[in-house]
Amino acid sequence: MKMLTKYDATIRRADWFFDVLLNELSPLLALAANITAPLTATQLNDILLSLSAQSVCTIHEEYCLGDNVQVEFH
Cα angle, residue 50 at apex, residues 47 and 56 outer, rounded to 5°:
135
Domain boundaries along the sequence of the chain: 14-68
Rounded to two decimals, the pTM is 0.58
Q: How far apart are CA 55 and CA 37, in angstroms?
A: 23
pLDDT tens, the chain, 74 aa long: 566 666 566 767 777 777 777 778 888 888 888 888 788 878 887 888 888 778 887 887 888 888 877 766 54
Listed in sequence order, the residues at least 6 apart from 49 whose beta carbon sits closer than 8 Å to its beta carbon are: 5, 6, 7
